Chains A and B, each alone.
Chain A
Amino acid sequence: MFVYTIKRLAVAIPTFIAVLLITFTLTVLSPFDPVAMMMSQFEGTLDTLAREEVIERIRDQYGLNDSYWVQFSRWIGRLVQGDLGISINGQRDVLRMIVKTFPISFQLGLAGAVVTTILGIPLGCIAALRQNTWLDYTIVGGTLGFRTVPVFVLAPLLLVLFVLVLDIMRVPRGWDGLFQSKVILPVFILALGPLPVVVRQTRAAVLEVFSMDYVRTAKMKGLEMWRIILRHILRNALIPVVTTLGFIAEGLIVGSIFLDSIFAIPGFGGVAEAGFRGFDYPVIMGVTMVSAIMIILTNLIVDLVYPFLDPRIKIE
């Protein structure tokens, strides 16, 4: 187990470093010049001759003339200390922005993951048990449809449907904690994104388990169907579903980018969206890195938990 953990870490850590490298390289390529930004404040007060000199001195002072690798290692050093920089629009501490909004998105995401699982596993089971019937096609086709329909399409359409056409809810806006009725629609929309993956995975797993000898034996013994499903099929079929956690995490993160502003939720995704809209470099970088960390961590946890769930996986 120890060797296995080390091996998994040996995969996760270089991946993370590479993500850092990509993010940093893209910033170096980026159009944003902080010094030019600073200088624009003194427009007209400095004469043009002195200006070049001043810019050069400021660049030296902030180490912007150093080599790529020196700058990169300095940047890593700051990251380690939790310094993600300051946002261009509004001059706020990026880490603080993320830390403040993250818990809200985390709760929403957790709720979304729970709803996806609660909906996806039974749907996948039903589809598998009624394989190649209209029910199977409806479930698979229906969820397949939502595979790529993005949140910013679903959200307004469902809002129009529920609020204007059916008139069964008031406009859900804002955030007053997780256990409020206005959270229902955002969580549902979040959950729809990764749902097809869970349904497909469950369906495939159930179909596979269904043909196993022990299931046939159980059927021959005359066990009731629901007992076979609960005791034998579901238990074994759930294992591969765990591997979809990484997809779920990604779906939730990307979903929240669009969701937050539509529902006026002060979450992580809203910070990301504002960052993109304002070409706010430090914010975009911070958000990308935190998302990558979340996904890499989720995959690492899945890898580490998996051998416990499925002892057939060789640990070495």
Chain B
Amino acid sequence: MSESSETVSNESLGEELAGESALQTRSLWKDAVGRLLRNRLSVIGLIITLFLLVAALFGPYIAPYSYTEQDLLNVAKMPSPDHWLGTDEIGRDLFSRVLWGARTATLVAIFTTFISVIIGVIIGAIAGYGGALADNITGRIIDIVMSVPGLLLAALIAVSIKEPVVTWAENIYDTTGFPLFADTTWLDLLVVFGGLAFVSWPGYARLIRGQIFSLREEQYIEAAKSVGVSELKIALRHLLPNAIGPVIVTLTFSFSSAMVLESSLSYLGIGVQPPQASWGNMIASNIGSWSYRPWLVAVPALTLAIVTLGINFLGDGLNDALNPRSKRSI
């Protein structure tokens, strides 16, 4: 080894010889991870995202106070050793509420993304495989949904389905007595999921459709077809692995936009209702007093800004890492 490392050519030769096994271990994914970790911004994004996930999972255990506990002797206090980020307008610990808000935001973002991916993949697949007519019809539907601002449509849906959902739950509670249906906080979340999922799926449907159409032209798909591989097998074996990169990137971006939409709805008083903590309703309830209690607005606002920035940087890095050919084409 020491002899061969004398010259550059020998070294590269040795690497090539050893490459037989290295070739198999250095997979596409490892490559992607390497590219991701070399990008400084995306590492920052990754760290912020991990922080968010930890806060969402363990926040309630880390939080020094409950999110509803009021300390009426210490209302709207500046940050102090007792209350790290101060207390809000009715004496609740701001740090604890921010942690609980992380849980709300993450929960909504995960569920909304999950629901809208499922709808989007189904409709995208119908558009991609169902022939020209199906493609036209789904294309129309997507155009229509996208022509209304997402926030307005989500808000309209949330407002409309809220009351029916609450009555439905009350009816179930009256007949079955399940304690689960007595609590309405998760119903708020359900309403938000519904509204947000409805406005987020078209992006996925378009993406999946585009992937199906563009990958179909690839020669390896043609080759697979010519040797008689079934459509389903081609879809699972070739289309899916190739489409997964762009899907992951879109997932990241829509995760942050779902979070922002949840905060927006909660800010407008449609989404998550107080006393449940959401960064949106925390900003809303203090925005009027920004000039004399700035930290009450600044803390949730900065948290939301940093988190969305971090996730976007991560998504950007993932885009470069997973689609190296489209480098810097955001």
Residues of A within 8 A of B (CB): 11, 14-15, 18-19, 22-23, 26-27, 29-31, 131-132, 136-137, 140-141, 144-145, 147-150, 152-154, 156-157, 159-160, 163-164, 171, 200, 204, 250, 253-254, 257-258, 262, 272-273, 276-277, 279, 281, 284-285, 287-288, 291-292, 295-296, 299
Contacts and interface: CB of A to CB of B under 8 A. Distances in A.
A259 B171 CA distance: 40
A148 B257 contact: yes
A287 B151 CA distance: 12
Given A19-B144, A276-B269, A140 B330 contact: yes
Interface string B140-173: 1001100111111101110111111000000000
A72 B144 CA distance: 19
A131 B328 contact: yes
B76 interface: no
A262 B287 contact: yes
Contacts of B294: 156, 160, 164
Given A156-B297, A279-B159, A200 B149 contact: no
Main secondary structure of the interface of B (DSSP, over half): helix
Contact of A26 (B157, B283, B309): B157
Contact of B283 (A145, A152, A292): A152
B41, B149, B260, B329: most-surrounded residue (chain A CB, <10 A): B149
Interface of B: 41, 140, 143-144, 147-153, 155-157, 159-164, 256-257, 260, 263-264, 267-270, 280, 283-284, 287, 290-291, 294, 297-298, 301-302, 304-305, 308-309, 312-313, 316, 328-330
A18 to B, nearest CB: 4
Contacts of A150: 260, 263-264, 267, 304
B149 A250 contact: yes
B156 A148 contact: no
Contacts of B156: 23, 26, 284-285, 288
Contacts of B159: 30, 276, 279, 281, 284
Contacts of A273: 268
B301 A145 contact: no
Nearest to B163: A31
11 contacts: A19-B148, A29-B160, A141-B313, A150-B264, A152-B280, A153-B283, A156-B283, A250-B149, A257-B268, A276-B269, A279-B159
B147 A27 contact: no
Nearest to A31: B163
A172 to B, nearest CB: 12
B298 A145 contact: no
A141 B41 contact: yes
A7 to B, nearest CB: 14
Contacts of B151: 254, 257
A288 B153 contact: yes
Nearest to B298: A160
B301 A157 contact: yes
Contacts of B309: 145, 149
B160 A153 contact: no
B148, B157, B260, B270: most-surrounded residue (chain A CB, <10 A): B148
Contacts of B161: 29
Contacts of B162: 31
B312 A144 contact: yes
A149 to B, nearest CB: 5
A295 B329 contact: no
A26 B191 CA distance: 14
Given A30-B159, A31-B162, A157-B298, A277 B268 contact: yes
Nearest to B151: A254
Contacts of B330: 140, 144, 200
Contacts of B312: 144-145, 147-148
Contact of A14 (B140, B263, B291, B329): B140
B266 to A, nearest CB: 10
